[in-house]
């Protein structure tokens, strides 16, 4: 059974993290939580002076759990910047003057994007008052390239709350930013609407870490002469992922190797290992040297963590290695699960929103799964040959990580890579060589530039070979199952099943396999009912796709998708893909609006009319010719591409249930049409305002 005395911080972490999670779900600051916290503290104080009978010995533990739960709940609630007294949202007007500091290294594209920490807000210069809070700022990228971390910027603009997704099951950027404590954004399109007020006002450590990072990026750019190798090298060595194109990202994701492009425990461990080898050349065993060595190692580990961007996975690894280094310097060993719980607790005290960070979740699940399952999987097969034993060790390591991360990976990424074990055999040794040669390159280029071509050559071809291997694995038949959609409830059931299997292995009692089997049964039943519902579904969805018309008709697991020929595939996929996966669509038939006609079993299209089962739709744009005569009866009218006719013409030629304005129209035109609809008592739906329109057929 579990010996809780060996892992006290796990007992601390569980109620604390549960309180944080409930706070995120409820977003409620009811006085009852303060009452629970104060009551727990008072009762704890009272009973610390009074002996509790043995049959109430668990009372202290329950009380401690309630106390930690309450602290986690309230800490998370008050961590939200919207709860701060001087948050700028209290002074927002139609347009505001804001003065603030650039808190992140700007990302350059069509717009310069950065996080701004506000300092002053007002409607004019005389009304400025102190404030706080973060804004995601977008500056039109013309003369803005001189901006950098720590600069003070003043601007005049319309600050808007970040909007939720406008399409069903689309990526929720609002929620993503919320867990970075960013709730508002502003677009500045005119150079005269902003100015640089001061420079170089950032934190000393972060400012110099960014400067060093850009210096190292320049070195890598000099030696990695092709874009694919440069982008992978930047990501793997320095955690800089802005240059990775979609083809590379997809290849690594579909082969289960995407983790190597995010700086994590593997990278921190290798850095610590390389530096430890160099320090081991000093043959001293004195206490002074042990302390000095530990301080150097901790300094290098945290320097690497900060320079590489400080992602949750690298912060987890740096925190863990800090405790490991301290323990080794004192000739003490620590329980790995306790070290994991300590590092997680420290990070959640620093930022409770990290609990909802995908990198944080994957990092802790992967390392916990590796620690528990890797020895068991590795011992299952005895390999005598040393080379093959090394290969089997890498395969078992990859399999162990997959057990812990597969459920949540499916939930977030909707795919199952079947050759992750093979990619692990390649990328782990390759990452070791790449990181080693990369560090050597950065060092030699800084000290002896004339010799830097040697590690530069090794680095380039190591990355090139790894990329080629990954792209080769991606081409294997059935290398990945794409479009797997599971709910959060199913993820919980999957982890409950894995947890009971762990209990069965740990206690050697088969009784724990019974609930594991029950959870598997519930998952199977859910899959069956979901599949039956998908087979019977009949629905149409008009998506929100800026300046385009996109309509899907779901007939069971088949979809008929209408869109223009000139739409960019990436934009089409962003609007539709997740919704298709969530509805179990297996086959998509594309139909362009430019086509004259199309016919299938339950859908008929003859421009501009569509009939889907018993529902009739007409698509109206400037090409439609109104004719006098009897009114045409339809269910829905979809207005596209800014037609010039009046709504009175539509009412005179059609009888209908509702007009739908899609996002191929100008917003100002839609605004005028909506006024006329209200005047004529016509029902309408504005996709710009309300998001995608989903119509389920009975």
Q: Read off the pTM.
A: 0.87
**The pLDDT of residue 50:** 63
Could you tell me which of 445, 474, 469, 423 has the C-alpha nearest to residue 224?
Answer: 445
Say whether the peptide bond before residue 227 is cis (omega within 30 degrees of 0). no
519 and 555 share one domain: no
Which tokens in the block code for residue 491? 């993820």
> What is residue 315's predicted lDDT score, i.e. its pLDDT?
80
> Which residues face 110 on adjacent strands?
none
Report the CATH number at residue 667. Answer: 3.60.15.10
Domain boundary among 55, 79, 103: 79
627 and 665 inside one domain: yes
Alpha-carbon torsion (82, 185, 214, 438), positive or negative: positive
Shared domain check, 516 and 543: no
Does residue 547 share a domain with residue 473?
no
Clarify whether residues 176 and 300 are in a common domain.
no
Task: Identify the pLDDT of residue 509.
Answer: 86
CATH number at residue 111: 2.40.50.140
DSSP secondary structure code for residue 202 in this structure: S
Number of structural domains (the chain) is 5
Shared-domain flag, residues 557 and 501: no
Per-chain mean pLDDT for the chain = 87
Would strands 184-188 and 134-140 be described as parallel, antiparallel, or unpaired? parallel
The per-residue pLDDT for 1 is: 55
pLDDT of residue 34: 67
pLDDT at 352: 94
For the segment 318-355, what is each residue's pLDDT rounded down to a tens digit?
A: 887 887 788 777 766 677 888 888 888 998 999 999 99
Same domain, 30 and 19: yes
Q: Are residues 543 and 659 in the same domain?
A: yes
State whether 67 and 142 are in the same domain.
no
All residues at 6 or more sequence positions from 610 whose CB lies less than 8 Å from its CB, including other chains: 553, 562, 603, 604, 616, 617, 618, 619
**Domain region containing 151:** 88-202
Residue-level pLDDT at 193: 85
**Residue 204: Cβ-neighbour burial (10 angstroms; 0-12, 13-18, 19+):** exposed
Judgement on whether residues 107 and 70 belong to the same structural domain of the protein = no
Q: Give CA–CA dist 620/124, Å, rounded.
A: 46
Do 573 and 605 share a domain, yes or no?
Answer: yes
Which residues of the chain, if any, have pLDDT below 70? 1-4, 30-31, 33-35, 37-38, 40-60, 142-145, 331-333
- In this structure, are residues 237 and 213 in contact, taking their beta carbons and an 8 Å threshold? no
User: What is d(CA 318, CA 294) in angstroms, rounded to the nearest whole number?
Assistant: 13
Q: What pLDDT digit, counting tens, does each position of 33-73 carry?
A: 666 766 766 666 666 666 666 655 666 677 778 888 888 98
Residues 325 and 339 in one domain: yes
């Amino acid at each position: 059974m579990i010996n809780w005395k060996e892992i006290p911080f796990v007992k601390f972490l569980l109620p604390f993290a549960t309180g944080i999670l409930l706070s995120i779900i409820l977003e409620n600051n009811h006085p009852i939580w303060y009452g629970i916290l104060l009551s727990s503290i008072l009762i704890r104080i009272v009973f610390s002076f009074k002996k509790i009978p043995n049959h109430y010995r668990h009372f202290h533990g329950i009380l401690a759990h309630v106390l930690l739960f309450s602290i986690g709940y309230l800490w998370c609630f008050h961590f939200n910047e919207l709860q701060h007294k001087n948050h700028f949202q209290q002074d927002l007007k139609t347009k505001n003057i804001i003065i603030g500091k650039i808190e992140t290294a700007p990302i350059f594209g069509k717009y310069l994007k950065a996080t701004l920490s506000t300092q002053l807000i007002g409607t004019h210069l005389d009304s400025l008052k102190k404030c706080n809070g973060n804004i995601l700022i977008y500056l039109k990228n013309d003369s803005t390239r001189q901006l950098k971390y720590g600069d003070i910027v003043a601007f005049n603009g319309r600050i808007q709350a970040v909007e939720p997704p406008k399409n069903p099951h689309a990526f929720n950027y609002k929620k993503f930013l919320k867990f970075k404590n960013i709730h508002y954004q502003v677009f500045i399109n005119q150079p005269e609407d902003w100015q640089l007020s001061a420079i170089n006002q950032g934190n000393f450590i972060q400012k110099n870490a960014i400067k060093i990072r850009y210096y190292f990026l320049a070195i890598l750019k000099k030696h990695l002469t092709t874009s694919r190798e440069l982008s992978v090298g930047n990501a793997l060595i320095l955690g800089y992922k802005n240059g990775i194109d979609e083809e590379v990202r997809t290849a690594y994701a579909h082969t289960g190797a995407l983790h190597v492009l995010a700086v994590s425990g593997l990278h921190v461990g290798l850095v610590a290992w390389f530096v430890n080898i160099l320090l081991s050349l000093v043959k001293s065993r004195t206490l002074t040297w042990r302390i000095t060595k530990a301080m150097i190692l901790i300094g290098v580990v945290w320097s690497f963590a900060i320079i590489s961007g400080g992602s949750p996975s690298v912060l987890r690894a740096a925190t863990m290695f800090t405790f490991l280094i301290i323990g080794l310097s004192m000739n003490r060993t620590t329980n790995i699960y306790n070290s994991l719980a300590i590092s997680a607790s420290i990070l959640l005290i620093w930022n409770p929103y990290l609990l909802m960070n995908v990198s944080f979740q994957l990092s802790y699940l992967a390392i916990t799964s590796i620690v528990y399952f890797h020895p068991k999987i590795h011992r299952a097969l005895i390999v005598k040959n040393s080379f093959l034993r090394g290969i089997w060790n890498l395969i078992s390591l990859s399999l162990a990580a997959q057990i812990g991360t597969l459920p949540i990976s499916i939930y977030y990424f909707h795919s199952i890579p079947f050759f992750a074990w093979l990619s692990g055999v390649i990328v782990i040794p390759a990452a070791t060589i790449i990181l080693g040669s990369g560090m050597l390159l950065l060092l030699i280029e800084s000290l002896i530039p004339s010799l830097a071509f040697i590690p530069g050559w090794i680095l380039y071809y190591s990355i090139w070979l790894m990329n080629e291997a990954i792209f080769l694995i991606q081409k294997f038949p059935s290398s990945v199952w794409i479009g797997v959609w599971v709910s959060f409830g199913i993820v919980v059931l999957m982890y409950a099943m894995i947890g009971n299997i762990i209990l069965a292995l740990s206690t050697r009692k088969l009784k724990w396999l019974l609930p594991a089997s029950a959870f598997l049964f519930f998952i199977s039943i859910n899959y069956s009912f979901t599949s039956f519902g998908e087979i019977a579904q009949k629905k149409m969805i008009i998506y929100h796709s800026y300046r385009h018309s996109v309509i899907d008709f779901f007939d069971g697991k088949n979809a008929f998708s209408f869109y223009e020929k000139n739409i960019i595939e990436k934009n089409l996929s962003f609007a539709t893909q997740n919704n298709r996966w969530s509805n179990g669509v297996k086959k998509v038939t594309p139909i362009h609006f430019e086509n004259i006609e199309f016919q299938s079993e339950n859908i008929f299209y003859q421009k501009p009319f569509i009939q889907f089962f018993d529902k009739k739709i007409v698509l109206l744009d400037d090409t439609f010719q109104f004719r006098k005569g009897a009114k045409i009866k339809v269910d829905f009218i979809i207005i596209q591409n800014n037609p010039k006719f009046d709504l009175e013409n539509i009412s005179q030629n059609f009888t209908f249930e509702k007009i739908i304005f899609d996002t191929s129209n100008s917003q100002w035109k839609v605004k005028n049409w909506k006024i006329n609809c209200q005047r004529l008592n016509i029902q309408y739906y504005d996709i710009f305002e309300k998001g995608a329109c989903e119509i389920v057929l009975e």
